[in-house]
Structure formats: structure tokens, C-alpha cells
Amino acid sequence: MSFTVPAKLEAQLDELTTHYPQKRSASLMFLHALQEHFGYVSPEAVDWTARKLGLQPINVQELVTFYPMFRQQPLGKTQVKVCRTLSCSLAGSDSIRKHFVEKLGLDAHKHGPQTTADGKFTVEFVECLASCGTAPVVMVNDDLVEKCTAADCDRILSKGR
């Protein structure tokens, strides 16, 4: 499958590059945009970004491997990020994650993101989402679910199925 960035997206990224005195600065924003469009950052996306910004592919690849938000493989359509950090943990985030993992037949003991076989869900623990006053919190794709309950989890699951 050939890797093609739509002209409109490329134009947006070209405009974005003008925000910085040095093109390299745009690399994180490129990766965000490409991941949003393709669902993940493929080796082709890394090469394309490097070519556009006049970098070596390793300069881009090292960002993909460092920053937790970038993905090197396709993830589920509904991405569930459960906050693991202290205030959410005190408010029961462990049982929230367990609820998702068990209902989706994933492995509760496994670390890192896990995706269901049908590609519908990815569930993972993430670090502090900066909403500790409404703990426990969960991010579902771009949206924050505050004071998340088991009922909220079931609602998220039925919506994503």
C-alpha cells in the first residue's frame, strides 16, 4: 500500500512549518497530524516527515519512540486512557481499568496499551491527566470522562461496540 498524504493535509502542514524559524520544530505537530489522519505513525510517515523537514529519519523516529502519545501500530477505534496516578488511584482507577480490561477479555496483568482482536478498543493506564479534583478520570479518544463510574465504563463500551 502506497503512502499518500492528502494535498489538503500537506498544505496545512506546510502552513504550520511557517510558525517556526527552524523547520525541525514542526516535527511534533507533523506527527500529531499524521497520527490523527492515519491512526498511527508508520515508518513511511516518519520518512515523509523527515523529507519534508530536511531531517534524517532517525531524528523523527527518536521522537516517536520517546513521546508516549505516538503509536507505531494501529490502535483501536475507541482509545481508552485510564489515569493511573495518585489522586485517581485513591479514587479507584485500578477498578476502572480492571472493569474495561475484563469486559473486553484483555489481560489485566499485562502492561502497556492492549487492543481488542476486533480492533474496536485500546485500553491503557496513563500518567496524570491533570483533572485530579474529579478523579477518577478517563480519556476516551479526545474526551475527558470525569468521576468515572462502572456505569460510565459500560456506556463507553456499548457506544464503541
Which residues of this chain interact with another protein, rule CB under 8 A? Answer: 19-22, 24-29, 31-32, 53, 55, 59, 62-63, 66-70, 81, 84-87, 89-90, 126-135, 139, 142-143
Hey, how many other C-beta atoms are within 10 angstroms of the C-beta on 67? 12
Q: Which is nearer to another protein, 3 or 20 (CB)?
A: 20
Q: Which is nearer to another protein, 33 or 153 (CB)?
A: 33
Rounded Cα distance, 73 and 19, in Å: 29
Q: At what angle do helices 27-38 and 7-17 cross, to 10 degrees?
A: 160
Rounded Cα distance, 136 and 147, in Å: 5
Helix (H) / strand (E) containing 126: strand 121-126
Q: Which is nearer to another protein, 103 or 144 (CB)?
A: 144
Instruction: Tell me the closest approach of the beta carbon of residue 79 to another protein, in angstroms.
Output: 12
Instruction: Tell me the closest approach of the beta carbon of residue 44 to another protein, in angstroms.
Output: 19
Instruction: Tell me the closest approach of the beta carbon of residue 117 to another protein, in angstroms.
Output: 26
Q: Which is nearer to another protein, 41 or 101 (CB)?
A: 41
Instruction: Tell me the closest approach of the beta carbon of residue 145 to another protein, in angstroms.
Output: 13
Q: What is the dihedral of CA 57, 59, 61, 64, to 10 degrees?
A: -140
Rounded Cα distance, 98 and 114, in Å: 12
